[in-house]
Amino acid sequence: MSILVNAETKVICQGITGSFGAMHTKGCYLYGTKMVGGVTPGKGGQKDDNGLPIFDTVAQAVDATGAEATMIFVPPPFTGDAILEAAHAGIRVVVAITEGVPVQDMVKVRCALDILNTERPADEQVTLIGPNCPGVITPGPKSGSGDSADSTYTSAGCKIGIMPGYINTHISEASTGKSVGIVSRSGTLTYEAVWQTSNLGIAQSTCVGIGGDPVRGMSHIDCLREFERDPDTHGVLLIGEIGGTDEEAAARYVKEHMSKPVAAFVAGRTAPPGKRMGHAGAIISGGEGDAESKIAALQDAGIAIAQTPAHMGRAMADALGV
């Protein structure tokens, strides 16, 4: 099984005719994702290079295709409106890839989504991933071939965003018979965690890059809750970084609610206070948010800690006992 998306999820791309939107739509399409169309205002009625229909609005795309999920590749000033357009059109999973979205815009978006979700039944509520994230992927068994690793696709998987699909492993291909969920604030570390676990014979049920902005959609806890419910997720690899208190909150959640083994890595041990490192949310300020306090909280919850990025896969394997 998986969380958030699966092989049957119908996906559109907002910003499908932009350079990045077009490139990653093709990548998702070749991976095996059920890409059913895209949205670019003023270009409705056309088709992209994959033969997918283009619509002027998300509502039109949903009505015509039954789309349930979207990935957003529109410029930062328009991302907030794109998220809300998708939510009001009935999209269930919104994946905002765009980097540099104004924090004020995201504050308004989060408030609007919170209100919207209180008015809807649980199975119709909107889940936002990102912004400034690599997306989400549920691997399927590999099939097909091509001239490069990226041209290998799956017949039963779903990739929404910019993650490299070929490094993922489906449970049917895992020598250990184990599958883990991965949740990360860092895109690059997500890929590294996937590569390491795959090389150790461990599959991934779903990988979620939640993004590194201070105001965003899904949190570590949101993902932990879903992974705990998924019977085919045998453990969770949590990747955090300096800034904020998400990892401390996640540690408390693991201690109180998780029955599955959890491993973790926290980036930014050498970052000086007051200096933003990489992501907009990665800053130590106000006496909180440093790596050591996060690591201490995670260790107190019984979580296996990887001391370096190179040891994330091994820490997860040890936690699983494989």
Query: Could you confirm whether 279 is annotated as catalytic?
Result: yes
Alpha helices in the chain (DSSP H): 19-31, 58-65, 76-88, 103-118, 187-199, 220-229, 246-257, 291-300, 312-320
Q: Is 59 exposed, middle or buried (0-12, 13-18, 19+ CB in 10 A)?
A: middle
Cα–Cα distance for residue pair 90/67, rounded to 1 Å: 9
Q: Quickly tell me which residue has 């990045």 as its tokens.
A: 20
For residue 13, the number of C-alpha atoms closer than 13 Å in the C-beta half-sphere is: 33
Which strands make up the sheet holding 34-39, listed edge to edge?
54-55, 34-39, 10-14, 69-72, 93-96, 127-129
b/e per residue 67-76 (b: at least 16 CB within 10 A) = bbbbbbbbee
Copy the structure tokens of residue 236: 């969770």
Crossing angle of helices 58-65 and 76-88, in 10° steps, is 40
Copy the structure tokens of residue 53: 């229909």
Alpha helices in 49-203 (DSSP H): 58-65, 76-88, 103-118, 187-199
φ and ψ at residue 44, rounded to 5 degrees:
-60, 145
φ and ψ at residue 12, rounded to 5 degrees:
-120, 170
The DSSP symbol for 272 reads P
Active-site residue (options: 24, 170, 220, 279): 279
- Catalytic annotation, residues: 279
